[in-house]
Amino acid sequence: NAGVTQTPKFQVLKTGQSMTLQCAQDMNHEYMSWYRQDPGMGLRLIHYSVGAGITDQGEVPNGYNVSRSTTEDFPLRLLSAAPSQTSVYFCASSYLFPHYEQYFGPGTRLTVT
């Protein structure tokens, strides 16, 4: 199993550009989520999904869109990048039962200039 994979590993964007961060998992997990990590802030939940076709907002959803067309993939879209979105982004997945231990991907380091 590859586990949770994310691409790209690094990305530099200009303000106003759009892009998609890719996340895939091969563990047949129902639950997938996106977090952002900023220095001194821990991780904050952006969006999550409990299954294909179902998504919901987390703590910091503004400026991001998600979709879940398959169990395996959960892309995160930045519609119009802003410097405040400079961060490290982690995708995570888990089973819904028996508990929600989340497995994290390697992360994408995004810089918006």
Among 11, 27, 58, 65, binds another protein (CB under 8 A): 58
Report the distance separating Cα 66 and Cα 38, nearest Å: 20
| Residue 74 within binding range of another protein, rule CB under 8 A | no
Work out the end-to-end distance of the chain between its first and last CA atoms, rounded to an integer number of angstroms: 36
Instruction: State the amino acid at position 47 in one-letter form.
Output: H
In angstroms, give the least distance from the CB of 99 to another protein: 6
| Residue 53 within binding range of another protein, rule CB under 8 A | no
Range list of β-strands (E), the chain: 4-7, 10-13, 19-25, 31-37, 43-51, 54-57, 64-66, 76-78, 87-94, 103-104, 108-112
Pattern 1-30, another protein, x by CB under 8 A: ------------------------------
Q: Which residues make up the interface to another protein (CB under 8 A)? A: 31, 33, 35, 40-45, 48, 50, 58-59, 90, 94, 96, 99-107
